[in-house]
Structure 1
Amino acid sequence: MQAVEISAFGAPEVLRLAQRPMPVVGAGEVLIRVRASGVNRPDVLQRSGAYPPPPGSSDLPGLEVAGVIESGDADAMAAAGLAVGDRVCALVAGGGYAEYCVAPVGQCLPVPAGFDDVQAASLPETFFTVWSNVFDRARLQPGETLLIQGGTSGIGVTAIQLAKALGARVIATAGSDEKCAACLALGADHAINYKTQDFSAVARELTDGKGVDVVLDMVAGSYVAREVECLAEDGRLVIIAVQGGVKAEFNAGLVLRRRLAITGSTLRPRPVAFKAAIAASLREKVWPLLEQGRVKPVIHSVFEASNAAQAHVLMETNQHIGKIVLTWA
């Protein structure tokens, strides 16, 4: 089969199309003929040598795919209501940049009605991540206020729409007026240009001094101190990436007085059972929103898989709004 491999750690041009053996299906797994593969920030980190795949996972990049089930564990498929020939999208720990990919049955979801393969491939990584962190870990409730750092990223556009659909108030940050407008068009109640405004001060103003209930942070570093300052009593800060650095200094006194919780997670190394539980929640609570059009995929660009390097160049410019997807002939 054809696959996009990392020939050496480095710049986007180290990605190259290569021939690889077909992956072998194990117990509890399916083989998917891949029609489209989502591109995500962890793929860029893996390519640069900063984010190795978990032990036992494919060395190929790619954490989400959409396609058709070719074969698999018959009993596991039957238990999940799946069959050979079904269109699915799946979260995987690696190997998504390939014509064929193995995925645990529990991490597969049916392609939402009316969705094409590109739209379906854009869903798993961001929807699993947002659900797990914003709704499971940070326990965002209807009527609460969520601050999203990076509202036009793949994670951001998903978090804006899900939070609004489930009854929360949303404040998003972005790095340009154009991106702020995109956040508002997606449903955010307010958007803050972090390059020209102090997001912490503006968030406090927008909440009449109360502060926000939950912050979804992909930056960390120096942002943590300002996020602690703009959290309401019993507020929750959930860190899911460290693009601004791993070290932070903040006012611990505010954490005590306001009873704040600072948490974080990475999804890729978690066990299949954990991810399968997220998939079950998504199918029950989020897939109907997608099929009703209340939450929509946001696709910025589509590249043929042979042009994966160009997709990574775009990802690293941070100019995209929404998802970048690769397609396979």
Structure 2
Amino acid sequence: MRGSASATARLSETDRIRVERHLALLPLRGSVAAMQTEAMVMRATGGPEVLERATIELPEPGPREVRIRVHAVALNHIDLWGRRGLPNYRYEFPHRLGADVAGVVEALGPGALNAKVGDRVVVNPGLSCGACERCLLGEDTFCKSYRLMGENAQGGYSRHIVVPDANVLPMPKRLSFTEAASLPLCFLTAWQMVVRKGQVRPGQTVLVQAAGSGVSSAAIQISKMLGARVITTTSTDEKAARARSLGADEVINYTSQDFVAECKKLTNKKGVDVVIEHVGGDVFAKSILAAAWGGRVVTCGATTGFTPTIDLRHIFFRQVEVLGSTMGPKGDLFGILRLVDEGKLQPVVDRVMPLWDAADAHRLLEARQVFGKIVLEVD
């Protein structure tokens, strides 16, 4: 210790300040390493029955981290895929699903800057290093360490979570926790698809597949806000009415109508300028046929199949652009939340259920008995 003190004494004033700042970010010896909280976890992949209520240990927030008391966490299709398991998923069991979280900041780690205790916040589910070239360009979804909460990192099916302070945003004042939790993943994904990739402009026609999904209910609103004519597809009259209430101009019932033929009819045989698609399988292949010459098909998922059969002539001869999309830059969520706070975009919550009924919520989502989001409330 005496040697360390002598070395510190020899430092310049600037270096001494740097050392003290560094030491302030280190956890103190003897401090509490973890707290206990309750969560819905999975100890293996499988059906909804693998979800179980359990007590877990949660590390104290480290440097530039915050602990959040979770009040609501929304379901997404990635929860279903994560629960079933995919070859590229590597879990640390017990694993917690859940990407979309809203709650209250309860504790700050050393050096946390973006929040204070008591703040009502929304959590951005994308995790990246924040220091590489792609992150600094605002392209964090291309970061080599990019992960998604609940997918390849622990998620929000819990009373408490610890996240980087860079992932915490102020919650719109006009929203409840359950409404706020329904926003991040689906609106970030839809924003990138419609605005960044689809480049939707006033006067264009946009086809949004599967109106009842979280991403599609957001994409309908964003496309309409940008001045586009919106066509969407769904399976029931009830869902069609809800799609129209969000701004859809035309709704096609895909159980009784051929959406390609209907799109051609509604556009005087031209086809649509942009397709927002996440269904996959035959729907993806037919979406290419529904697109106009020079149109864009933007896809972010494949809920019904990963290997569609495609006639490439419809891509190169008609110059249709096929664009892949995953999530969106973290910075875009600030603007999205401002638009929500101004009432220009709205959360779409189908129902609210207790976190401890997560297995039943998964069954409802799998059965496609939902329009918008199922949100789990955490008592």
Superposition TM-score, scaled by structure 2 size: 0.78
- The equivalent of 2:33 in structure 1 is none
Return closer, same or farther for 1:105/1:213 CA change in 2, 3 Å cut-off: farther
In the alignment, what sits opposite 2:138? none
Aligned 1:50-69 pairs, distance under 5 A? 50=86, 59-69=95-105
C-alpha distance 234-280 of structure 1, shift in aligned 2 (>3 A): same
Residues 1-329 of structure 1: pairs in structure 2 closer than 5 A:
1-50=37-86, 59-73=95-109, 75-77=111-113, 80=114, 82-92=115-125, 93-94=149-150, 95-267=155-327, 278-284=329-335, 286-329=336-379
Partners of 1:60 and 1:189 lie apart in 2 by 39
Secondary structure (helix, strand or coil) at the match of 1:203 reads helix
Q: Check conservation: 1:53, 1:59, Cα contact below 8 A.
A: no
Q: How far 1:243 moved relative to its partner?
A: 1.7
Cα 1:210–1:23 shift into 2, 3 Å: farther
User: Shift of the alpha carbon at 1:51?
Assistant: 7.3
Q: Is the 8 A contact 2:44 2:93 kept in 1?
A: no
SS for the counterpart of 1:222 is: helix
The alpha carbon displacement at 1:327 in A equals: 1.0
Cα distance in 2 between the residues matched to 1:152 and 1:15? 25
What is the Cα deviation at residue 59 of structure 1? 2.5
For 1:27-52, what per-residue CA distance to the aligned partner results, in whole angstroms no more than 9, with x for missing partners? Answer: 44322110111111111111112376
Change (3 A) 1:131 1:57: farther
Larger Rg belongs to: 2
Label 1:243 to 1:304 Cα distance change in 2 as closer, same or farther (>3 A): same
Distance change in 2, residues 1:26/1:128 (3 Å): farther
CA distance in 1, matches of 2:90, 2:168: 19
Q: Distance in 1 between matches of 2:321 and 2:62?
A: 40
**Structure 1: gaps of 5 or more residues:** 268-274
Gaps of 5+ in 2: 1-36, 126-148
Deviates more, 1:188-197 or 1:41-50: 41-50
Q: 1:17 to 1:196 in 2, by over 3 A?
A: same
Mapped partners of 1:109, 1:144: distance in 2: 33
Q: How many residues align?
A: 316
C-alpha deviation, 1:318, in angstroms: 0.3
Q: Aligned to 1:258, what secondary structure does the other structure show?
A: coil
Specify the code of the residue in structure 2 equivalent to 1:190.
Answer: E
Contact 1:174 1:194 in 2 (8 A): yes
C-alpha distance in 2, partners of 1:8/1:55?
A: 9
User: Displacement, 1:91?
Assistant: 2.8
Question: 2-side partners of 1:46 and 1:85: how far apart?
Answer: 32
CA contact (8 A) 1:23 1:100 kept: no
Residue 290 (structure 1) shift:
1.2
TM-score, normalising length from structure 1? 0.89
1: CA distance, partners of 2:293 / 2:322? 13
- 1:132-174 CA-to-partner distances (Å, cap 9, x unmatched) read 2222222222322221111011111111112112222211111
> Which amino acid in structure 2 is aligned with residue 89 of structure 1?
V
Question: Identity of paired residues, percent?
Answer: 38
CA deviation vs aligned residue, 1:226-281 (integer Å, no higher than 9, x gap): 111111122111111112211122232221232221122334xxxxxxx5xx3322
Instruction: Find the aligned partners of 1:137 and 1:96 in 2 and give their Cα distance.
Output: 29
Deviations 1:199-252 (A, max 9, x none): 111111111122111111111111232111111122111111112211122232
Indicate conservation of the 8 Å contact 1:64/1:121, yes or no. Answer: yes
Output one character per residue of 1:283-303: Cα deviation in whole Å (capped at 9) or x when no partner.
23x223212222211111111
